[in-house]
Structure 1
Amino acid sequence: MIMRLFGVSPLQTDLIGHYPDLAGLRRSAKSNAWSQVAAHFEQLPVRSDQSVAVRVVAETPGSERFLEQVVNSERNSSLARTLLGARFIVMAWEARGRTFAKDVDPSQWQFFFGYLERAERLLAEATAMDPTNAAAWTERVILARGLELGLDEGRHRYEQAAEHCDAPYTAQRQLLQNLCPKWGGSVDELHAFARDCLKCAPPGSLAGAVVANAHVEHALDIMMAEGALAAEEYIGQREVRDEIAAAAAHTVLHPEHRPWHGWVSAHSVFAFALVTGGDPRAVPHFEALGSRVCPYPWEQVYRRWKAAFRRLGNHRRPL
């Protein structure tokens, strides 16, 4: 089934390919239809994770011009400030590029921090206007990392997001990045946070994927220090693979699981972690994904990551 599917279908990496119900939101953003954009968010379930919908608007090229006009006209709109702040965060990372920090030139850093500072002002206004705006708090977790505000500030922003969202998977993934050694955290903090997310999560939620994220980030840290073979040996340990599989069974593979925005990311990281460890329990995640996949964490390891995803999805064999 997967081989036939990959043989005729390109991989779906765009958010609309993952979540077709958000296509109307993107069309509204492209056509500068603020009333329709706002109406879409009003229709989302109360206390749901709205961060993916926010990113659909934020990743729409040129949307900052439209959103700046809305912010100027809608003086009390927390949503407008959230969307424009998120757009500036996207633009900041585009300006920085994906190279190592040592390879980023001064002009790139100038644009990077300039956009992040503008985003921080807007998102601080958004959360002041509406302290229950979990999506804005989630974006501010990213800013705590990019602006180097420290782990305590990142945790505070995450706690605000989690307080006002029943399933804060996006915020959990973002704080996990803050806790990585490369951002000043440690692998012990990574795993402690991920296990706590799983422990507190209702069956069928997406939170268990954070356990897989933590092991992947641990492996990536080993890869940078000791090479790919050492990273594969780490994630191939039986106890590591068992913990990842148990997290999947409690969340995305649980009978009570109902796909919500973010499920493609969750299955993508489970598939990567288990197949990297040579574990056949990767199969149901590849089957759930079909031709959908999130670039993370595949592109962190493979130069031709799409080909690697197809190959491993077809053959289900260890790296």
Structure 2
Amino acid sequence: MLKKLKLAKAYLEHGDDLAGALVPDDAVVVDAPPDGARPAIDAALDGRYEPAAELLRQQREQRAWEDRDVVVAGLGRRALAAPQWLDAWRQAQPDDPDLAVVDARRLVEQAWEQRSRDDASQVGPEQLRAFHETLAQATERIQQAIDGSPGDPVPWALALRHARGTETDRATFDGYLDALKATDPHHYGARYEAMQYLCDKWFGSHEEMYDFARASVEAAPRHARVQSLLLDAVLEHLAVDPSALASDPARVEEAIARAQGFVDSAPDAGHHLTAQTRNVLARVLFHLERHREAYEQMRLLGPYATSYPWGYWGDAREEFLSHRRHVVTLAAGTS
């Protein structure tokens, strides 16, 4: 009771100032597209594919793989609800490798939506049937994207996610990783999908997941986005075991330091590359009861919530806002 009274007093003294430094709740958006991609995405929603096709062509030629991965993901998700522009692109340029990768992403997203995020034991037979049928449709499109864009790691990220859904054997998975090394060995999206394959709830173990994540960050430049992968492994473990943070404190601290190092070294990278890392930092720091640090990540995030990690615990936007409110209250108590 005394602790609650102290928190209430601290909030009255400092809470308004802390809350006032955050963007209003109604300004928060989930998975906001890159600023430079907004015209292309808006045009796609209006039924015009040309701006998206041009943007992806430029990114492919410039080998801007991290940006391309985010744009492909955004376009693929939006094509689920409004596919007309993708149909028009398919009629006009059926062999375009950029069309192939967006269409492949659409199909993979559709498959996972059909399956849902539930534990395998809670997924019904009709869901699983639809899931595998859609993944089967995606197979050809992923291969077209790989063949049409040599050196591009984005289709390999899709292949690795596809491998998880189709329960691909370890030898084939390892072959995908070898192919990834020949494109961009430090590509975050592909490394993240490989880490998921190796985690305990799929085909590996917590330690195998951690070993892969650590090897990935140690091999990569300090400014690379993949430096946040070890923190992703911590979050993945935390999502299934609330005591995970206590199992290896040194590893958790290393993960936080590497993720923080990435966002500190990339101040101009754009929210589409740094926001997810800050969201994961905020969640992990909250669980560590480092509330002032968690609050600082929330402040720096501004309106940019991301579906990962918050979607693990429910509706992403509501989870983000709920945790933000808790963080303000608890951070006020440390002021």
With the shorter chain as reference, the TM-score category is: 0.7 to 0.9
1:166-204 CA distance string (max 9 Å, x none): 751111221111111111111122111111221122222
User: Deviation at 1:151?
Assistant: 3.7
Task: State how 1:1-319 maps to structure 2 within 5 Å.
Answer: 3-6=19-22, 8-10=24-26, 12-16=28-32, 19-44=34-59, 45-49=62-66, 50-60=68-78, 61-165=80-184, 168-221=187-240, 223=241, 228=242, 230-231=243-244, 233-234=246-247, 238-254=249-265, 257-260=267-270, 261-279=272-290, 280-301=292-313, 305-315=319-329
More relative contact order, 1 or 2 (CA 8 Å, 6+ apart): 2
Q: Distance in 2 between matches of 1:269 and 1:7?
A: 19
Q: Report the TM-score, using the length of structure 2 for normalisation.
A: 0.81
SS in 2 for 1:185: coil
Contact 1:89 1:119 in 2 (8 A): yes
Give the structure with the larger helix fraction: 2
Supply the distance in 2 between the matched residues of 1:315 and 1:213 (Cα, whole angstroms): 26
Q: What letter is aligned with 1:199? A: E
Query: 1:139 aligns to what SS in structure 2?
Result: helix
Alignment CA distance shift 1:93-1:141 (3 Å): same
Secondary structure class of the residue paired with 2:146? helix
Q: CA deviation at 1:253?
A: 2.0
Alpha-carbon distance in structure 2 between the residues aligned to 1:64 and 1:118: 16
**Change in CA separation of 1:267 and 1:43 when aligned onto 2, cut-off 3 Å:** same
Alpha-carbon distance in structure 2 between the residues aligned to 1:218 and 1:163: 30
Larger radius of gyration: 2
Tell me the C-alpha RMSD between the 2 structures.
2.7
Number of residue-to-residue matches in the alignment: 308
Q: TM-score, normalised by structure 1?
A: 0.85
- More deviation in 188-197 or 295-304? 295-304
What is the CA-CA distance between 1:298 and the residue it aligns to? 2.6
Between the aligned partners of 1:20 and 1:153, the Cα distance in structure 2 is 37
> Gapped runs of 5+ residues in structure 1?
none
Q: Would you say the 8 A contact 2:57–2:98 is kept in 1?
A: no
Asked whether the 8 Å contact 1:88–1:116 carries over to 2, the reply is: yes
Where 2:201 maps in the other structure, the secondary structure is: helix
Cα–Cα, structure 1 residues 70 and 267, in superposed 2: closer, same or farther, change >3 Å?
Answer: same
Percent of paired sites with the same residue: 20
Q: Give deviations 1:270-298, integer Å, cap 9, x for gaps.
A: 22122212235445422321232213223
